[in-house]
Structure 1
Amino acid sequence: MDQPAPPPPATATIPPAVARAAVHWLLTLDDDSAPPSERTRQQWQRWLQADPLHAQAWQRIATLDAQWQQQLLHGLPASVARQALTASGHGRRHALRLALLLTAGTGGLLAWQQSGLGQPHWQRLAADLATATGEQRSRELADGTRLWLNTATAVNLHYSATERLIVLRAGEILVHSAPDNTPDATTGQPRPLRVRTAEGLVRAIGTRFTVRQHAQHTSVAVLEGAVELRPAQAPQDALRLEAGEQATLGRSQAGPATPLAEGAGAWHDGMLVVNDMPLPDFLAELSRYRSGLLRCAPDAAGLRVSGAYPLADTDRVLNALTRALPVQLQARTRWWVTVERRS
Structure 2
Amino acid sequence: MRVAPSEETREVARAAAQWLALLESGGASDADHARLQHWRASDSRHENAWQKIQQLRQRFAGLPPTLAMATLDRPDPARRAALKRALGVAALVPAVWLISRELPLEVWRADLHTSTGERRKVQLAQDSSLQLNTDSAVNVDLPARQLTLIRGEMALNVAGDSAFIVNAPYGRMIVNHSDISVRLNARDCQVCVLRGSVQLQPLHGPALVLQQGQQVSLQASGAGAVTAFDALMPGWRDGVLMAQNQPLGDFLRELSRYRSGVLRWDPALESLRITGSFRLDDTDQVLALLAASLPVDVHTRTRFWVSLVPRVEKTG
Query: Is the CA contact 1:279–1:296 (under 8 Å) kept in the aligned structure 2?
Result: no
After TM superposition, the score normalised by the length of structure 1 is 0.63
Give the direction of change, closer, same or farther, for the CA distance of 1:48–1:153 in structure 2 (3 Å limit).
closer
The residue that corresponds to 1:9 in the other structure is 21
- Match of residue 98, structure 2, among 90, 98, 111: 111
Give the direction of change, closer, same or farther, for the CA distance of 1:218–1:42 in structure 2 (3 Å limit).
closer
Query: Is the CA contact 2:160–2:176 (under 8 Å) kept in the aligned structure 1?
Result: no
Alpha-carbon separation, structure 2, partners of 1:332 and 1:56: 23
What is the Cα deviation at residue 147 of structure 1? 0.5
The residue that corresponds to 1:315 in the other structure is 284
The residue that corresponds to 1:258 in the other structure is 227
> Could you say which structure has the higher helix fraction?
2
- Match of residue 103, structure 2, among 110, 113, 120: 120
Give the direction of change, closer, same or farther, for the CA distance of 1:110–1:330 in structure 2 (3 Å limit).
farther
- Amino acid in structure 1 at the alignment position of 2:146: L
SS at match of 1:7: helix
Q: What does residue range 108-257 of structure 1 map to in structure 2 within 5 Å? A: 111-112=98-99, 120=103, 122-142=105-125, 144-160=127-143, 163-180=144-161, 192-234=163-205, 237-257=206-226
Give the direction of change, closer, same or farther, for the CA distance of 1:159–1:43 in structure 2 (3 Å limit).
closer
The number of residues matched between the two structures is: 245
SS at match of 2:50: helix
Determine what percentage of the aligned residue pairs are the same residue.
35
SS at match of 1:299: helix
| Unaligned 5+ runs, structure 2 | 1-14, 25-37, 55-93
- Provide the alpha-carbon RMSD of the alignment: 3.4
Alpha-carbon separation, structure 2, partners of 1:216 and 1:194: 21
SS at match of 2:160: coil
- Amino acid in structure 2 at the alignment position of 1:166: L
What is the Cα deviation at residue 55 of structure 1? 11
Give the direction of change, closer, same or farther, for the CA distance of 1:121–1:205 in structure 2 (3 Å limit).
closer
Give the direction of change, closer, same or farther, for the CA distance of 1:139–1:299 in structure 2 (3 Å limit).
same
- Amino acid in structure 1 at the alignment position of 2:194: L
Alpha-carbon separation, structure 2, partners of 1:46 and 1:258: 43
What is the Cα deviation at residue 272 of structure 1? 0.4
Alpha-carbon separation, structure 2, partners of 1:11 and 1:158: 38
Alpha-carbon separation, structure 2, partners of 1:43 and 1:138: 36
After TM superposition, the score normalised by the length of structure 2 is 0.68
What is the Cα deviation at residue 143 of structure 1? 5.8
The residue that corresponds to 1:330 in the other structure is 299
- Amino acid in structure 2 at the alignment position of 1:176: N
Query: Is the CA contact 1:139–1:147 (under 8 Å) kept in the aligned structure 2?
Result: yes
What is the Cα deviation at residue 194 of structure 1? 1.6
Superposed structure 1 runs of 4+ greater than 4 Å apart: 41-44, 46-52, 54-57, 107-110
Query: Is the CA contact 1:112–1:122 (under 8 Å) kept in the aligned structure 2?
Result: no
The C-alpha deviation readout for 1:166-206, integer Å capped at 9, x for no partner, is: 100001111001425xxxxxxxxx5x422111111122141
Query: Is the CA contact 1:134–1:288 (under 8 Å) kept in the aligned structure 2?
Result: yes
The residue that corresponds to 1:268 in the other structure is 237
What is the Cα deviation at residue 233 of structure 1? 2.2
The residue that corresponds to 2:50 in the other structure is 53
| Unaligned 5+ runs, structure 1 | 13-40, 58-106, 181-189
- Amino acid in structure 2 at the alignment position of 1:141: L
What is the Cα deviation at residue 51 of structure 1? 9.9
